[in-house]
Structure 1
Amino acid sequence: MKEFWGHYGLGLIERIGKNHVFLEASGLAFSIVVCIVPFVLIIFAVLGFVLESPTIRMEINEFIDRLIPYSDAADTVKEVVFERAQEFKVNKNVAGILGILGLLWASSRLFSSMRTILNVSYKNRLVGSIFGDVVAKMRDLAMVLLVLFYFLLATTIIPGLAALEKLTENSTILQFLHIEFVGDLIVQAASFIIITFAFFVIYYFVPQAKLPLKVIIVSALWGALFWGVAEYMFRLYINNFMSLKRIYGAYVFIIVTVFWIYYTSVVLIVGAEIGQLYRERSRKKEKEAEKEQQSEA
């Protein structure tokens, strides 16, 4: 047990300092912020088509409430989304085209930065080539489409989970059995699975070198765990101990958004570092097993 905690605990601290994780997270967060602008243009262009439906509006409300842990910031986002979406409805085609072109350019920077960082974390030594660069750019475009699909999927699933949670809260049977928490448990479990899958996709597709499946799973699980714990602690903190709006005023949404983007970047890199530590420990065990077999022979 001492060796286990020494390898992972001290090893993680050493790698965070050696690989300048917090500095890398700052650069990655900046790339994400740059990518947000064209992505929002595309979202507004799509919303211009669908916001006429009351059901869609309700689902978007539920999605924003789940995505942003601070209620005042969530209300600000709703106001901006619905007001700007109506404005974009008139010029939705132009907004969509500009958004797509901008997103293709920005995503190239984002996933290139992410690939470089993850290659350092996983110690992938790659020789540059024209073919490899072309393949990397194609993967960037595929990741953009995957992100858009994942966003639409999450927009559909999360409100459905919220409806399921309300259904279980109002269920006579569950109230009689005193297990009203089942609905909340289902929602939390499903949210954890969704976040884990998102991390898994990033660790699987973004690095150029193919990683062992177990390493990817370990990285994704730890990344999702850190993200979930931070979300809960942050929600608890802002709901009970401080008023962000009183301190930051109209800038509260920007503060919350930047914080979450930066923290998510840190979590993404730390998850990769833990996965690499698991990889190194597994290799060490394999070598020790081989030596034992050779000595016995």
Structure 2
Amino acid sequence: MMKKIVFLGCGSMGEAILAGLLASGVSPQSVVVTVRRPERATELASRHGVTAMATNEEAGANVQAVEGASVVILAVKPIGIMDMCLEVAQALDSNTVVVSVAAAVSLAQMESALSPGQPAVRSMPNTPLKVGRGVVALSAGSAVKEEHLNAVHEIFNGAGVVLDVPEEAQNAVSAISGSGPAYTFFLAEAMAAAGEAMGLTPEVAQVLARETVAGAGIMLTEPGADAQKLRRAVTSPNGTTEQAIKSFERDNLGEVIKTGAQAAAARAAQITEELNSK
């Protein structure tokens, strides 16, 4: 029997997960998606061949969608996760595993809004899922069995690397891999700006920065790749690269990045507390 997989909400991240799932060989006929706008539902159905419903047209679309589902993916914003859980809780099969892809929403918060014993998984995916190079960290709730976790792994495997982590590590995961693509894009921006400051045209500077960051990222995905070793391999003694690295070290760039990541993790914890107070 074909498993039914449901996406409640399907924005940019949700669609990236959906695309990876379908690319792994899952039949579009086994997937149901709900979104608010009819135009978005039509777009998703046309692009991916899945069943898509708009809650603005069908008020009970979410409840209807989850009936008989094996996995339900909550792909709405953090502030909407609890309400979504409450809305569909009574329609879920007791063996359906509910997966949140929202930052900062704890398992305890999810489980409090679901029926007792409902399997729940907290995940932290990142945007490179869109190009099949994402990383996803999963934390299992108290009612999750091996079969549930395996089913969730299968959903994300098509779009990236999947890791299991304890829930207390999720804020750190969010700060490193969840926010990490933005750090990388910021680096590319800074490199391009530096090139312009040294006389390159904006077009040339942007291409040099973009392709260098992208190419270095691909090198890091090769088997056995190690960032420190790769850096040392292109840092010749008394060479030009060494001077740049020494400048970064004098300015404590590593500490700057660590402080930024800690600030991101702290904000995630703060959001969790804000959601608790609502």
TM-score by length of 1: 0.22
More strand by percentage = 2
Which structure has more RCO (C-alpha within 8 Å, separation ≥ 6)?
1
TM-score by length of 2: 0.23
